[in-house]
Structure 1
Amino acid sequence: MNLDEQIVLITGGARGLGAALSRAFSRSGARVIVNYNKSRDAAEALVAELGEDRTFAVQADVTDRSSVDQLFSAARERFDAPISTVVDNALVDFSFNGDARPNADTITWADFDSQLRGAVAGTLNTTQAALPGMRELGFGRIITVGTNLVQNPVVPYHDYTAAKAALLALTRTLSADLGPDGITVNMVSGGLLRTTDASAATPEAVFDMIAASTPLRRVTTPDEFADAALFFASPWSRAVTGQNLVVDGGLVKN
């Protein structure tokens, strides 16, 4: 299925990386569902920017299955077709500030639970809600958002990194389970992105240090990350599933 034939759900699609993903899929001609939890104004502004004929904002907490089911019903009613592609981008509130992070002595299980619910439960909910429609189409693309910190925990964000590691495992097991249905499941893992809401607290010196460490000598942008998500949704990746593509300027070799 070509990109301009797809109906794409971007969870957490109103701000930061999510907004870059929404714009990228919209530019490709896809119909885009901009999911938000609390960012209604940003979501509605983005829909106005991209065009209300092919873009739709829907509130849902992805950690709540009933809320996700309502999102899928609203999208089906709006576009009169099933969602073909899900980009699991939603992130429970998190700030990439190494100085303020909880360390090994102070972090709590509640911190882990919050991130696991956002990453793993959120992806499980959207996947299960999407499966009937994808099976109806005989086609599906599920793209999860990971992090290069799993391979290179240069800053030990324990809860966030553990949740993304679990999400990588889920990505791979889902790919094995859903491949016979024509559904691919892949992950795009970024490094520190310049700049999103989550990375806004990162000191400029850290950006400079990372840039100097990459072969490209610069920090990846949200738009560059979104390009990789387009690849996994496109026909060019039709034989690719269960993979983790690291998009960080070559800092981590996967």
Structure 2
Amino acid sequence: MQINEQIVLVTGGARGLGLAITHALIREGARVVVNYLNSQAQAEELKQKYPQQIFIYQADVTDALQVQQLFLAAKQHFAEPIHAVINNALIHFSFNGDARPKLEELTWDTMSAQFEGAVKACINTTQAALADMKQAGFGRIVNIGTNLVQNPVVPYHDYTTAKAALLAFTRTASHDLGQYGININMLSGGLLQTTDASKATPDAVFDLIAASTPLKRVITPQEFADAILMFLSPYSRAVTGQNLIVDGGLVKG
């Protein structure tokens, strides 16, 4: 299925990286379900600007019932089910190494919040999508990860561990989903310049990253979003359970 034939859900799709992903999909002609939790004004602006392509819906992706209602509402709106899911929403996080919870003060509440935002949310959207994707014999799921799993240069214990678990789930889920024509992959970025989560990062850190990458620059949200299109396109139909790192070549593998 071509991208311009798909209905794509982007969780957290009204701001930050999610907004860049939404714009990339709009450019390619996809219809986009923009899920948001608090960014109603930004979501409404998208809907007004692209009324034929955008459907907005407020839902907490850690709540399975709300996610099911989101999928039903989108299906009613477009008269077709969702074909692809981008699990992008990030729960309450800021890339500020100085303010991160140190190991001595780390609590399970802090850890579990990131697990719910990453793994539980992915389980909720995958389960909500499954029946229609199985019936269609087609589905694409892309989970947003981080290169910190491979290179934890700043030990964000909660965020990185949750994303590592999401990577493991991506790989195990591929075994269950592949028989139905459903591909699930992960796209992992480095620090992006700039998103809501990375705006607290000092300029010196961005400069250090740029100097360390083969491309000699920090990747933008727009560049990262464009890479998602590969996983949605027919050219990746034989690719599942994989993790593609998009960080300018900083981390290998």
TM-score normalised per structure 1: 0.99
Deviation at 1:48, TM superposition (A): 2.2
Q: 1:42 Cα deviation (Å)? A: 1.0
In structure 2, what is the equivalent of residue 4 of structure 1?
Answer: 4
In structure 1, the partner of 2:208 is 209
2:145 maps to: 146
What is aligned with 1:186? 185
Matched with 1:15 is 15
Which runs of at least 4 in structure 1 moved beyond 3 Å after TM superposition? none
Q: Secondary structure at the match of 2:104?
A: coil
RMSD: 0.6
| Secondary structure of 1:249 counterpart | coil
**Gapped regions of structure 1 (runs ≥ 5):** none
Query: 2:219 maps to which residue?
Result: 220
1:198 alignment partner in structure 2: 197
- Shift of the alpha carbon at 1:168? 0.1
Contact 1:19–1:46 under 8 Å retained in 2: no
Shift of 1:47: 2.2
Deviation at 1:209, TM superposition (A): 0.4
Which one-letter code corresponds to 2:171 in the other structure? R
1:58 matched residue in structure 2: 57
Q: Are residue 95 (structure 1) and residue 114 (structure 2) matched?
A: no
Identity of aligned residues (%): 64
* Structure 2 Cα separation of the partners of residues 88 and 38 of structure 1: 17
Alpha-carbon distance in structure 2 between the residues aligned to 1:2 and 1:137: 14
C-alpha distance in 2 between matches for 1:118 and 1:102: 17
Counterpart-to-counterpart distance in 2, 1:37 and 1:175: 28
Residue 46 (structure 1) shift = 2.0
Matches for 1:102-251 after TM superposition, within 5 Å: 102-251=101-250
Whether the aligned pair in 2 keeps the contact of 1:9 and 1:34 (CA below 8 Å) is yes
CA distance in 1, matches of 2:47, 2:111: 33
Q: CA deviation at 1:227?
A: 1.1
CA deviation map 1:190-247 (0-9, x unaligned): 0000000000000000000000000000001111111111100000101100000000
Tell me the secondary structure at the aligned position of residue 105 of structure 2: coil
For 1:43-82, what per-residue CA distance to the aligned partner results, in whole angstroms no more than 9, with x for missing partners? 1112223x11111110010000000011001100000011
Q: What corresponds to 1:28 in structure 2?
A: 28
Q: Secondary structure at the match of 2:194?
A: coil
TM-score (norm. length: structure 2): 0.99
Alpha-carbon distance in 2 for matches of 1:58, 1:228: 25
Per the alignment, residue 252 of structure 1 pairs with 251
Partners of 1:48 and 1:23 lie apart in 2 by 14
Residue equivalent to 1:39: 39
SS at match of 1:120: helix
Q: Shift of residue 21 of structure 1? A: 0.4
For structure 2, the residue ranges without an aligned partner over 5 or more in a row are: none
SS in 2 for 1:47: helix
Is the contact made by 1:91 and 1:118 (CA closer than 8 Å) also made in structure 2? yes
In structure 1, what is the equivalent of residue 83 of structure 2? 84
**Given residue 43 of structure 1, which amino acid in structure 2 is its aligned partner?**
A
Task: Please give the per-residue CA displacement for 1:101-155, whole angstroms capped at 9, x wherever unaligned.
Answer: 1111111111100000000000000000000111121100000000000000000
What secondary structure, in the 3-state scheme, does the structure 2 residue paired with 1:154 have? Answer: coil
Distance 1:211 1:251 in 2: 9
Paired AA for residue 32 in structure 1 = V
